[in-house]
Structure 1
């Protein structure tokens, strides 16, 4: 059913449902929350992920600023344009992640260098407003906006000719906004990369990640419909079957190229992969997208790789510098060959690219 496995075992770590304070539509409110995570660190260098949540009124573009306290410097960034002057760092949205409604989040990442120490920045501002995790209203009555999981989106709402993305949340997994936001950031980075490589790219739906409240708990997805003790494909296979049934999607389906991620897996047993029309990934990929399982480059490269299968490409036979080999771990320092570009454009979903 799927041709390539990505195996990096990790336990799912999920947060609890939370609520944030916002103001009514008549208010002019500003507020933000920032999560800064050092995802990996080595002598002289590090990788970091930054998640930004807009707690105030909707914005159409954002500028995040902070200052490093120990001489760190940004050397490479993705999902934002990052510049630095002395200790002061400025990150500006790119074209696809500038609009943030109330309660919406986006994320970006970067690699940097350090000497001596690498402390986390102590303060951030978003469009000039201090990010304290609260909202500063000028008028209006506060209301509560819970970040609870939405109901599954009917299949008729997804635009044909797009890459359609799902996050399936088992019944015993708490909703965590980092997951849909992080998965959206990963597929948007893949969207940017395909544009860079091919001169054209795929479209995403307005609801980039459809959150699906699963019908079963994690253990059911791990252990049901398995052959003996082989649980390797059970999780993604059970997710795949549930998504196809509930949303009336075929395998493959000419309307969409589908991506499914589920927050469940058995340690060292559950993986994922892809074939033309479908990408199916389990818990370690969902965790990685959420920024809690290693450097983001690996998850960006992994999505580019699996979407390559979704567009019809096979694995490369050697580590050849293309994302269809182990070279995807070197992302973004990897490139499609001309033959791979031609095959994508001529493949079963080449018409999705524009």
Structure 2
């Protein structure tokens, strides 16, 4: 694992506006964070070799993860530093849920409330990975 701190050239408000994005406005934050990460890393951005977890010190409607990148807004960062009412494990679980998406895990069709990829992130570490999640992760080149 490699941890880097990078400084965006954009003000916090930039992350929640359209900026050429299409689709659902709730994902503007994710799309903008991904585009900013790509710009900051340039040719070093490679989601075939790395999975990125990005915390942005900007308000966002929700964290999100897909295809190699997870982007989390300031509430999640505040949660990890005890500045929110929910306990820290809830925020660790939220990051785990969104990272699951970055590794290719879908929301489960059975809507199991204990499943990390459903609402189980709220009860982390008492949540579970379901058999389908384990199969996907075991087939991933990122896990040996």
Tell me which interval the TM-score lies in, with the shorter structure as reference length: 0.7 to 0.9
Query: 247, 255, 272: which is aligned to 2:49?
Result: 255
User: 1 CA distance for matches of 2:79 and 2:68?
Assistant: 22
How far did residue 341 of structure 1 move? 0.7
325 and 226 in structure 1: CA distance in 2 versus 1, 3 angstrom threshold: same
What SS does structure 2 have at the residue aligned with 1:260?
strand
How far did residue 222 of structure 1 move? 2.6
How far did residue 264 of structure 1 move? 0.7
How far did residue 333 of structure 1 move? 1.0
Query: 37, 41, 62: which is aligned to 1:243?
Result: 37
Considering Cα pairs closer than 8 Å and 6+ residues apart, tell me whether 1 or 2 has the greater RCO: 1
Within 5 Å, which residues of 2 pair with 1:175-324? 204-205=1-2, 208=3, 210-225=4-19, 231-248=25-42, 249-250=45-46, 253-265=47-59, 270-293=61-84, 294-317=86-109, 318-324=111-117
Matched, 1:325 2:118: yes
What SS does structure 2 have at the residue aligned with 1:274?
strand
Q: How many equivalent pairs are there?
A: 139
Contact kept, 8 Å, 1:226 with 1:234, in 2: the verdict is: no
* Shift >3 Å, 4+ stretches: none
Cross-structure match for 1:92: none
Contact kept, 8 Å, 1:256 with 1:277, in 2: the verdict is: yes
Structure with the greater alpha carbon radius of gyration: 1
User: 1 CA distance for matches of 2:35 and 2:70?
Assistant: 13
Contact kept, 8 Å, 2:81 with 2:88, in 1: the verdict is: no
Structure with the higher helix share, 1 or 2:
2
216 and 320 in structure 1: CA distance in 2 versus 1, 3 angstrom threshold: closer
Contact kept, 8 Å, 2:15 with 2:29, in 1: the verdict is: yes
TM-score normalized by the length of structure 1: 0.36
What SS does structure 1 have at the residue aligned with 2:117?
coil
> Can you give the 5+ residue segments of structure 2 that lack an aligned partner in the other structure?
none
Query: 336, 339, 342: which is aligned to 2:132?
Result: 339
User: 2 CA distance for matches of 1:290 and 1:225?
Assistant: 30
How far did residue 263 of structure 1 move? 0.9
Structure with the higher strand share, 1 or 2:
1
Contact kept, 8 Å, 1:258 with 1:279, in 2: the verdict is: yes
The Cα offsets for residues 279-320 of structure 1, whole Å up to 9 and x where unpaired, read as 111121111122211311111111121121111110012134
Matched, 1:351 2:144: no
User: 1 CA distance for matches of 2:114 and 2:73?
Assistant: 26
321 and 264 in structure 1: CA distance in 2 versus 1, 3 angstrom threshold: same
> Can you give the 5+ residue segments of structure 1 that lack an aligned partner in the other structure?
1-203
User: 2 CA distance for matches of 1:315 and 1:286?
Assistant: 23
How far did residue 231 of structure 1 move? 4.7
283 and 231 in structure 1: CA distance in 2 versus 1, 3 angstrom threshold: farther
